[in-house]
Every structure is written in structure tokens, then in C-alpha cells.
Structure 1
Amino acid sequence: MSITIKNDTDIEKMRIAGKLASEVLDYITPFVKPGVTTGELDKLCHDYMVSVQGTIPAPLNYAPPGHIPYPKSICTSVNQQVCHGVPGEKILKSGDIVNLDITVIKDGYHGDTSRMFCVGTPSIQAKRLCDITYECMWLGIAQVRPGATLGDIGHVIQKHAEDSGYSVVREFCGHGIGKKFHEDPQVLHYGRPGTGLKLQQGMMFTIEPMINAGKRDIRQLGDGWSIVTKDRSLSAQWEHTILVTADGYEVMTLSAGSPPPPAFIRT
């Protein structure tokens, strides 16, 4: 495992990239409403990133080993889609939930974040899943400090999700990030406290739990990217990029429109 400890220059560049990624989500928020297609959301975000921010959409043509190049600039995962939903002709309707996952590149550094959106009026069950998943992410973030372990993060996320009657997707996880889109370490959203890699100042990674309303089993669609729940239950995800500081953490992907942390989180 090769973990890059970020220096002051890296951190400042990542602050900028992270804020820009979050500002794309601020920009697109009023457009997420019944009647819009996921493809239209992708084009709006793409144009904003390229023409307004001067950033590069990291997902566009991204092709890790074993994958065809990703064809769009953002990921749009609707309802039972867990992650990596490919934007297209899908029309959002009232009651849908959708995750918009944004990664920009600015001056060679990646900013990576995602949010859940409720389209129109969500069901009580769908809203609860989105809220619990948000709490899971923040409970994981709150564990971050030098000397803590990756298992500490995974454990609190898994416990809160399962205590709420949900399941944690295990095939996908958070990841180190910086000049590369995906770096070490892998950040699992389940685990045992006190196990796994010990955190140290200067590490930077995403925490991005994917929580299913039903069972945790998933499958890939024929487009080679979109991941869905096997039982077609709803799935939700939130994501922030986190820096390990001398005495805790800094969230790198905050902007004016970022939802506030849950009331029980001390920041």
C-alpha cells in the first residue's frame, strides 16, 4: 500500500478543488426537479465545470482496468441505483431520489463529493434512508484523527446503518485522493473498531457510504458501469473528501450550499 501524505501545497490545492466540486452541486440543485432528464443534468454540470469553473470533469472517459471509458461528466444514480449511474434519457419524477456524484480536476488535483437529492415530494421511507445515510457519513467523518483506524470509521457507519434496519454495500468503498482520482487507502464502510490502517496527519481520503434499504447484494447493468441493488430496494449515498489534521479532520468538499452536519456532530 502506497499512501501519499499531503504537504501544505497539496492541501491548499485540494481545498480549492474540493470547494469547486461542491459548488457544482450548489449550482445544479435548483435544476433537480420533476421532468428533467439525467442527461440534461450532466450537460448542465459539464458546461458549468468547463466554461465557468475552468475545471476538468474527472469521470469523462475515465477507464480503470476492466472498464470501458465512462461516457459522461457526472454520475447520476436514481432510486435502486447504488453508484456510477450513467446519465441519459431517464426522466426524474416526483418521489425519486438521486445521487449526483461530482469529481473535478483543478490544477492537477481532484475534488470529489456527492449528495442525495429528493425530487419533488419523497416518501417517508425514501427521506429516512437519505437522512440515515447522511448521518452514517458524518459519524464516519467524526472518527477521523491521528491514531484512529480505518476500522473505527467502518464500524460506526455499519452499526448506524444496520441498527436503522439497512445494509451496507461492501463492494465499493472510499479511497485516497489527490493528484490521482483513486489512491490508497481503501476506506471500507464496515469493520471492527481498532483494526486496519492507523490514520496519520496528512492523509486524505473520501468517506462515501452506500446504504441499501433492503439487502446489500448488488449487480452491474449492461452499460458496464451502473450498479443497482439486486432486490431493487432503494439505495442512498453521500460523499465528502476528508483530511486528517493534527488533532482531527478537515472536510475539503464544503461550499455555501453544503447541507450542515447533523446536530449530534461536533465540528
Structure 2
Amino acid sequence: MPVPTLPAFPDNVPTHPLLVIDYELVKARNPSEIDRLWEAATKLGFWYLKNHGVSEEVDRMFDMGAETMSLPLEEKMKFEQGDDGMSFGYKAAGANAVDATGRLDSVEFLNVAKDDALSWPKQARRAYPSTVNARMESTIRPFIHKSLDINNTFLEVLNDRLGLPAGTLLAKHLVDEYSGSEARLIKKAPTQVEQGKPPNVALGSHTDFGSLSFLHNRLGGLQVLVPGAETWQYVKPIPGHAICNIGDAMSLFSGGILRSNLHRVVPPPGNQSAFDRWSLVYFTRPGNSIILRALVEDSPMIAEAVAKTPEKNFETGSTSAEWFSRRVKNQRIKNRKGPETWMASRGTEVGVTTNSIDAAVHDYILAHNAYPSPLGYMDFPKSICTSINNIIVHGIPDDRPLENGDIINIDVTIFSNGYHGDTSQTFLVGNVDEQGRELVKMTNDALQAGIQACGPGRPFKGIGKAIYDLTRHTNFSVSSQFTGHGIGTVFHRPPWILHHLNDEPGVMKPGDCFTIEPSLIQGSNPRGWIFPDGWTASTENCARSAQAEHMILITENGVEVLT
């Protein structure tokens, strides 16, 4: 593929500097260079790599990518990766969601399995277009061999710094075991970025599925979310330098010592946006049979790190194949059932703050000519409520980063065309333990039980009775301090909806519009207390709480869920 003359990365666009690591020095086991690699791998999880010796193979891979992407779409779709959780093959633009709202991605890519490249001409995992087959031996296999050598060197070095027995990490990435390891070519068509507006996301925010990623690009577009920051920052491409990063598996193996950081792809900035954006990455992933868990038995350093962070979950119970398949499958738009599908595609994503969630929702609401009802309501300072773990309701977004194993309730109310609309859902962040998952499931079941108790002429107290009957023999209790409410042209008004057993009078009439929003708490103590901010409500004993909410309308014939 002839390389066009590309415009330079704009000088006026803020970027995040990465450490530049010299591969030749790492390979020679230079102590100071290994110290710098360790710093990069533990602080941000991203670094530039120079002197990697793969430039010629990279150029040939881009040539192969151009040949393949220029095939008719009908031909490429014969090799589509499908919706069953397999990554290898072709993916068309718009096949994946980029966020919980279901927005579509705008990149097409081709994934070639390590297993197929190394077993060629024998097919190991799947078939590929003729343009790929023609280059398998001359182009793809040499690129994968060199990428494996580089990533295996990193595995050896990080293995030693983690205090693991020699060969521990390499044994989890045996070249002759089937794995999700693959070479990926990505093409993003030109997109005009409007002045003063945030760029459209081409590839949604994510952590990488595997262990190590070895990336090559020539235009900007890659962004990282630096820990503690609320804004995304570009990573400037440097000629002759690859970009490397840590993935989920290495973060889990190391008990969180190695950082798998959030990143995304947006259109290139400035004049670069007028060009096709090509990138090439090799993903090293563990063997399919490897269980993803912290290696606490093998390293005192890892055991200590896990002991210091009991709130985090490093016991996934998943094999590498299961973890990889889950993430791929739940990104596919054809598998989407709602926001919960996107959340099920997540890995160890940490670093997203509730402030950044609030900002994204705020911008989305305003872009659709609506207003976030909570903002300024009785001096509430934010546009949504974000209630994490032990927070029952009304959590105020802040700079707290979400952690693997958290549960978070996001409560959104908008005002549009003279009416308020109110809904909330509790989401699972990464790998949540069985009790947490059961709490969230039971909370959603309680919401549905409350809705089923509704209809014209039925008593309001039947909602609390239905939820009580569902939950009374469980290990969860129902908050009696926070109620549902009437809603419409006014944010909060009668009737007040009690979710616990009660004997309040009143029957439902056609036209009644109100919310049902039960909060369930782990254990037998449902009591909460209010923070000094006057809003945030926590459980008394710091037990976890989950909430689910819908806004419903009583009709002549029954009930309609409006959210």
C-alpha cells in the first residue's frame, strides 16, 4: 500500500506523553530500561516502543490490509466473524456498539488468528479471504512471529519483576495452545470533526481483552483516560515507534499491579481527519484453558497487592476463552437487548469516574433538546445520581473511579416538551461476585413484581405487598425510607409509592403516572443515613444496595411502562 503524504499531528491538540522504551535495551536486560518499563506498565499501562525491528513487516501488513478492505463488501461478509463470540474474521463498520446507549462503531477490521498463521497451510480456526491466504506465509506469519518474540520478552521481564517463578507467565501463553491471540488490521474512513464539538467515537472506550497489545498507527485518534482525569487525551503517533499496552489478563494475573487502562479511538484531529485511518495491532492472549485469576500462591508481591485491595475481585472464575468470548459477543449489536448487554461486554475497566459519566449523560441530554431534571433541583449539583455499592440513592457524581467488582446505580431524569421522565438501573462493573449479581437480579425482579401489581382500581399498597412477598424469604431487605412518586409536568408529586409492606389507602386510576423504584439491601438492616451533603444516602452498615426504577402510566386496560 503506497503510503500517502500525511499531514502532521496538530501542534495545538493536547496529548498525553508516554514513556519511550528501547526494546533492544529491554532484550539485553538493561536494569534502568527495565525499571522504566515497569513504571510504564504499573502507572498507565501504555508506552512507546522504539528499536522493535518490525517496520518492514508492518508495511507489508498494511499492504495486505488495503488489498483485503478493497474487496467488495459482499465478498468480505463471507468471512464475517459472526455473533457467537468468535473474533477471527472480518467485522463490518456498525456491527458493534460503542457504549451502553447502543451507538454503532464506525471501523471495519480484519482479525487473523495466531493459530491459523502458524499452522498454515492447514486451517486451524477459520477460513479467510484470498487476499489474506496469499499473504499468510510471506507477510502475516513473519509479523506474528516477531510480535510474539517482543511480547514474550515483556512477559519474561514482567514475570521476574512480579516475583513469579521463572516461566510462569510464558506457560500461560504457550504458542502451541489455541488462544484468542490475533493480528488485527483496522480501517476508519475519513470523518469531518465539527469545530467546538466532541469527536464521534469510532471504537468505544475499553480495556484490551488479553495480556499485551503491540500497536502500529500513522494518524492520531487513539485516546487514553489517565487515572484521576476526567477528559480523554490523544496519544500522538511517533514514526518508527509502536505503542504497547497491558490488557485485562495481565492485570488480573498481577492482582492489579499491572494496569489495564481505558482507551478509545476517535477520528484523527485537524487535517488528519480527511484521510483513512489505518492501524495494526497484535494481541497476545492467554491459552484458552487458562483461568484468569491473581497468582497469589506464586508471588508474595501479588498476594500482598490483593490483600490490600479487598474491594476488588481478582477471581473471575472464567477461562481466557470464556472471558474473551463474553466480551466479543456482548459488543455485537445483533446481540443487544439493552444497556445491560454493553455492561456484560466489559472487562476490568477502571478509571471511569462518575463525574465523566455525568458529563457524558449531560451532553447527550442537551444534544437532544432536553434538560437534566436533577441539575439545580433543590440545589442538587449534578445532572444524574450515581450510587455505588453501599449508597442507596442520590449519590453525587465525583472523581471516584469505578473499580472491578463495583455495582453502580445510574438514575436519570430528563425534562422534555413539558414533562419529566425518570428511570434508573444498577449495572455490574467487570466481575461482580455472586451475591452482588443476585442482589441486582432480585432488585429488578422486585421492580417487575411491583409493576405487575398495578392496574386501574387496584390498591397502591399492593405494590409494597408484591415486593414483600417476593423478598421476605431472601437475604435482602427493602428500604422503607425512599419512595416512588407521582411524576409528569412536576418532578415529584403524589402519589407516594411505598415499596415495603404497608396499609396506606388509595387506588390507582387511569391517568395516574408514577415511578416504582425499590431499593434492596444485602442483609436484614435496610436503614440508611444521609451524608452531610444532604443528598447521599448510605446503608448504616455499609452493606451493598441496588435500585431499579421505571415510570409507569395507569391506563383504562392496565399499565404501560413509559421508560
TM over 0.5: yes
Higher radius of gyration, 1 or 2: 2
Q: Which residue of 2 aligns with 1:87?
A: 397
CA distance in 2, matches of 1:26, 1:161: 31
**Which residue, 184, 193, 218 being the options, matches 2:494?**
184
Calculate percent identity across the aligned residue pairs: 39
CA distance in 1, matches of 2:420, 2:100: 15
Shift of 1:223: 1.7
After TM superposition, the structure 1 = structure 2 runs for residues 44-123 of structure 1, keeping only pairs within 5 Å, are 44-51=360-367, 53-63=368-378, 69-123=379-433
Any idea what the Cα deviations from partners look like across 1:86-126, whole Å, max 9, x if unmatched?
00011101100000000000011000000110000110000
Q: Which residue of 1 aligns with 2:435?
A: 125
Q: Report SS of the residue matched to 1:180.
A: coil
Q: Report SS of the residue matched to 1:26.
A: coil
Q: Which residue of 2 aligns with 1:208?
A: 517
Larger displacement relative to structure 2 (165-174 or 75-84): 165-174
Shift of 1:224: 1.5
**Which residue, 87, 101, 104 being the options, matches 1:26?**
101
Shift of 1:54: 1.0
Residues 409 and 546 of structure 2 are in contact (CA less than 8 Å); yes or no, is this contact kept in structure 1? Answer: yes
Q: Which residue of 2 aligns with 1:43?
A: 359
CA distance in 1, matches of 2:554, 2:359: 34
CA distance in 2, matches of 1:192, 1:232: 26
1:149 aligns with 2:149: no
After TM superposition, the structure 1 = structure 2 runs for residues 214-233 of structure 1, keeping only pairs within 5 Å, are 214=523, 215-233=525-543
Residues 25 and 102 of structure 1 are in contact (CA less than 8 Å); yes or no, is this contact kept in structure 2? Answer: no
Q: Which residue of 1 aligns with 2:225?
A: none
Residues 39 and 88 of structure 1 are in contact (CA less than 8 Å); yes or no, is this contact kept in structure 2? Answer: yes
CA distance in 2, matches of 1:149, 1:27: 37
Any idea what the Cα deviations from partners look like across 1:39-60, whole Å, max 9, x if unmatched?
0000000000012x11100000
Q: Which residue of 2 aligns with 1:10?
A: none
1:240 aligns with 2:550: yes
Residues 481 and 527 of structure 2 are in contact (CA less than 8 Å); yes or no, is this contact kept in structure 1? Answer: no
Larger RCO, structures 1/2 (Cα 8 Å, 6+ apart): 1
- Residue 58 to residue 25, structure 1, CA distance change in 2 (3 Å): farther
Residue type of the alignment partner of 1:86: I
Residue type of the alignment partner of 1:154: G
Larger displacement relative to structure 2 (178-187 or 164-173): 164-173
In the alignment of these two chains, the number of paired residues is 223
CA distance in 2, matches of 1:197, 1:25: 38
Superposed CA RMSD in Å reads 1.8
Q: Which residue of 1 aligns with 2:122?
A: none
Residues 132 and 164 of structure 1 are in contact (CA less than 8 Å); yes or no, is this contact kept in structure 2? Answer: no
After TM superposition, the structure 1 = structure 2 runs for residues 153-164 of structure 1, keeping only pairs within 5 Å, are 153-164=463-474
Shift of 1:160: 1.5
CA distance in 2, matches of 1:76, 1:152: 29
Shift of 1:162: 2.3
CA distance in 1, matches of 2:408, 2:451: 22
CA distance in 2, matches of 1:145, 1:191: 18
